[in-house]
């Protein structure tokens, strides 16, 4: 039976937490594809319904639902972008003595060009000489990724809400347009 030291257990635990957080962010990014698909469907159906609406006659009251749907589509696009954009610079700038080596946002902040980043990364890596510094790398990255996940999740939920509202307005518009077409026949 293999016995692990407490340092080994801490390292394995930290690596597993880091791995799980990055997987959660990846899953959230995949969920955004559902929002993109639904918003594409809403945009397509909205354009069809606006065409029908023009056929039965436009009034300011009849333009409210398409306007709300369009506003929801624009809002959803904003929130989708908030989920998809890469995050960096979330950690407070007051922590100047720490050089992150795990998270891509930290690595990108190491320099403006790839050669600068490579040199800075190797220098910071060579400066690590204790278990505590390795734990600090994982701990700071875990906290940073948790903050990023929270922001991305919040943006996803908001995008889902405005997509639902836009879809509801679209359904109402389809219903009212169909009734208006039936009455005009």
**Calpha distance 105→120 (Å, rounded):** 14
Confidence of residue 80 (pLDDT cuts 50, 70, 90): very high
**Residue 47 belongs to a domain:** yes
Degrees to nearest 5, angle at CA 108 with 35 and 18? 65
Flag whether 121 is in a domain.
no
Task: Name the residue with tokens 């080994």.
Answer: 8
Residue 122 lies in a domain: no
Question: What pLDDT digit, counting tens, does each position of 4-52 carry?
Answer: 787 778 777 878 887 888 888 888 888 898 899 999 999 999 998 888 8
Q: How many residues does the chain have?
A: 185
Strand segments (E) across 8-93: none
**Total structural domains in the chain?**
1
Residue 100 lies in a domain: no
Q: Is residue 135 part of a domain?
A: yes
- φ/ψ of 118, rounded to 5, equals -60, -50
In a domain, 46, yes or no: yes
The residue range of the domain holding 166 is 14-85+131-184
| pTM metric for this prediction | 0.75
Q: How high is the pLDDT of residue 94?
A: 47
89, pLDDT greater than 70:
no
Look at residue 71 and tell me if it is in a domain.
yes
């Amino acid at each position: 039976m293999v016995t692990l030291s407490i340092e080994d257990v801490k390292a394995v635990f930290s690596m597993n937490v880091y791995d799980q957080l990055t997987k959660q962010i990846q899953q959230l990014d995949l969920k955004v594809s559902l929002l993109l698909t639904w918003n594409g469907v809403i945009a397509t159906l909205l354009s069809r319904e606006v065409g029908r609406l023009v056929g039965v006659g436009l009034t300011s009251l009849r333009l409210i639902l398409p306007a709300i749907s369009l506003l929801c589509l624009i809002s959803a696009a904003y929130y989708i972008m908030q989920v998809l954009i890469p995050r960096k610079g979330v950690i407070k700038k007051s922590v100047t003595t720490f050089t992150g080596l795990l998270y891509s946002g930290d690595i990108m902040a190491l320099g403006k060009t790839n050669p600068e980043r490579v040199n800075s990364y190797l220098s910071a890596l060579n400066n690590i000489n204790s278990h505590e510094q390795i734990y600090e790398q994982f701990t700071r990255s875990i906290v940073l990724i948790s903050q990023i996940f929270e922001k991305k999740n919040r943006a996803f939920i908001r995008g889902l809400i405005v997509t639902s509202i836009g879809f509801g307005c679209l359904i109402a518009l389809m219903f009212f347009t169909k009734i208006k077409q039936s009455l005009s026949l």
